[in-house]
Structure 1
Amino acid sequence: MIYGQLENMAHEISVVPGIVLEGLRFLEGKDFASLPAGRIDIDGDRVFALVQDYRTKPETEVRPEAHSRYLDIQFIASGCEKIGFASSTDAPPAVEDYSEERDIRFYDHVPHESSLLMTAGSYAVFFPWDIHRPGCSISEPCDVRKILVKIDMHHNR
């Protein structure tokens, strides 16, 4: 897992892995308010973005998830949310596994979950070995505009 602020990209450019930098470069200089909700192809199925508008929910209403094929760069364009995260190392088996169809597995709970407080301009990178619980309310429900950049880890080996 990597956490950062898009405004610090000039400082982070030398330490962020190239595969992540490709996704961050897509975010650089964008007018996020004018992007239409939905999918934006960057490089076909290898790299694409999902522009999402939603209201956060209490943590108890959001299930932890993980992916096998894609890494996620979750960028908050507006609003704020809490994202839980944990290593998949000692996680219980997934309760629902849609890895083949939709590249997602859901968990009822994960041990040793920590939280990130995400505000406008912040991003978090979740690799396939990171379980994450996005879209959680910090204290009250909040409207969020998120740009989710998906990068195919299998294609980039």
Structure 2
Amino acid sequence: MIIDTLENASNYFNINPCFKGAFEFIKGHSDLEKAAAGPVGTFENLTAFVATFQSVSKETGLSKFECHDKNIDIQYCIKGKENFGWKPRQKCVIPNGDYNPEKDVRFFSDTPDLFFELAKGQFVIFFPEDVHAPMIGAGEIKKLVIKIKI
């Protein structure tokens, strides 16, 4: 997992060949606050969509303690403050259902090792080894999610 601000995004371009395009996409869309929820682009193994939602309690958020096998997530905070739970996948031992290959998601019932908050202009990169519980907080949150196929 990587947490940082958009200003430092170039530090991560060499980790994955798609990261440069993903962050250039974010920087090139200064109107994201006005963007409607839904898909905003597909290019170079990347799918980008805007999500707007009312945040949920920690307990509700933990019911979606998830990870992905075939995608890296870049989640960029456009508006609001979003809290996440996180734990390394190798420490998760309580599966919550079967892997869904269509949605590339698997859930766990484990307790996160830590919680952190993203505010406007910050991003988090979740790799397949990062189990995360999104959408926790108070109030409306708007974010851009970029899925990178691996």
Aligned-residue Cα RMSD (Å) equals 1.9
2:13, 2:19 within 8 Å by CA — same for their partners in 1? no
> Structure 2: which amino acid aligns with 1:121?
G
Please, what TM-score do these two structures have when normalized by structure 2? Answer: 0.88
List per-residue Cα deviations over 1:18-64 (Å, max 9, x = no partner).
333332121013111232211123227x2111100001111100121
Partner of 2:133: 133
Q: Which residue of 2 aligns with 1:25?
A: 24
Q: Give the whole-Å Cα distance in 1 for the aligned partners of 2:79 and 2:66.
A: 23
The aligned counterpart of 1:152 is 149
What is the rounded CA distance, in whole Å, between the counterparts of 2:127 and 2:20 in structure 1? 14
SS at match of 1:18: coil
Structure 2 residue runs without a partner (length 5+): none
Amino acid at match of 1:106: F
Aligned counterparts of 2:4 and 2:74: Cα–Cα separation in 1 = 10
Matching residue of 1:79: 80
Query: Which residue matches 1:41?
Result: 41
Single out whichever of 96-105 and 56-65 deviates more from structure 2.
96-105
Shift of 1:6: 0.7
Residue segments in structure 1 that go unaligned for 5+ positions in a row: none
Report percent identity of matched pairs.
Answer: 24
Q: 1:94–1:108: 8 Å Cα contact kept in structure 2?
A: yes
Q: How does 1:56-71 map to 2 (within 5 A)?
A: 56-62=55-61, 63=63, 64-71=65-72
Q: What displacement does 1:128 show?
A: 0.7
Residue pair 2:12, 2:19 contacting (<8 A) in 1 also: no
Q: Secondary structure at the match of 2:109?
A: coil
Change in CA separation of 1:87 and 1:24 when aligned onto 2, cut-off 3 Å:
same
**AA at the equivalent of 1:38:** G
What is aligned with 1:102? Answer: 103
Count of matched residue positions in the alignment of Structure 1 and Structure 2: 147
Alpha-carbon contact 2:71-2:147 (below 8 Å) kept:
yes
Shift of 1:15: 5.9
* Cα distance, 1:130–1:13 mapped onto 2, change above 3 Å: closer
CA contact (8 A) 2:87 2:113 kept: yes
